[in-house]
Amino acid sequence: MIHLTRKRSIPIFSLILIIFGFLTFKYYKSYSTNEYQPIIPEIVHNNGKGFAGSETCASCHPEIFRSHLETTHFKTSRPADSTTVKGNITIDNDFILNDEIRFSMVSKEKSIHQNTFLRPIDSLIESKSLDIAIGSGTKGQSYFNWQENQLYQLQVSYFEADGSWVNSPGYPNGVYAPNRPVRARCLECHFTYAENKVTFNKYNIYDKSNLIFGIDCERCHGPSIDHVNYHKKNPNENTGRDILSLSNATQRQNLYMCALCHSGTELEFGKNPFEFVTGDTLTNNTGKENQSLAIQDSLDVHGNQYGLLLSSPCFKRSTAMSCTTCHNPHKNQRNDIEWFKSKCIQCHGNANNIIECSVSMEKRNSGGNNCVSCHMPLIPSKTMSVFNQEDSLVVPVYIRTHLIGIYD
Ligand code: HEC
Ligand code: HEC
Ligand code: HEC
Ligand code: HEC
Ligand code: HEC
Ligand code: HEC
Ligand code: HEC
Atom of ligand 1 nearest to the CA of 238: 12
Amino acid 301: pLDDT: 55
Nearest residue by C-alpha to atom 22 in ligand 4: 135
Cβ proximity of 104 and 111 under 8 Å: no
Give the nearest ligand 7 atom to 363 CA.
Answer: 1
Phi and psi, residue 184, nearest 5°: -60, -35
259 lines ligand 1 (CB under 6 A): no
Distance CA(374)–CA(404), nearest Å, equals 9
Q: Check if 348 has its Cβ closer than 6 Å to any atom of ligand 7.
A: yes
Which of these, 177, 157, 176, lies nearest to 114 by C-alpha position?
157
State residue 26 phi and psi, 5-degree precision: -60, -45
Using alpha carbons only, give the angle 344, 345, 346 rounded to the nearest 5 degrees: 90
Judged by its nearest atom, the ligand closest to the C-alpha of residue 35 is: 1
Q: What values do phi and psi take at 74, rounded to 5?
A: -60, -35
Q: What is the domain partition of the chain in residue ranges?
A: 1-34, 77-211
Contact by Cβ (8 Å): 56, 228: yes
Q: Give the H/E segment covering residue 96.
A: strand 94-96
Enumerate residues lining ligand 5, CB below 6 A.
313-314, 317-318, 321, 325, 340, 343-344, 346-348, 354-355, 371-372, 375-376, 404-406
Q: What is the pLDDT of residue 390?
A: 52
Alpha-carbon gap, residue 220 to 6, rounded angstroms: 70
Residue 240 makes CB contacts below 8 A (sequence gap 6+) with 227, 231
In order along its 408 residues, the chain shows pLDDT tens digits of: 334 334 444 455 565 555 555 544 444 443 444 467 888 888 988 888 899 999 999 999 999 999 999 999 999 999 999 999 999 999 999 999 999 999 999 999 889 999 999 999 999 999 999 999 999 999 999 999 999 999 999 999 999 988 999 999 888 888 999 889 998 888 989 999 998 888 888 889 999 988 999 999 999 999 999 999 999 999 999 999 999 888 888 888 888 889 888 887 555 555 567 777 777 766 555 434 334 444 444 555 566 888 889 889 999 999 889 999 999 999 999 999 999 999 999 999 877 778 899 999 999 988 888 999 999 999 888 767 666 665 556 777 888 999 999 998
Q: What is the pLDDT of residue 19?
A: 56
Q: Between the CA of residue 210 and those of 192, 193, 197, 206, what are the distances in Å?
A: 10, 7, 11, 8
- SS3 for 132? strand
Short-list 368, 360, 374, CA closest to 338: 368
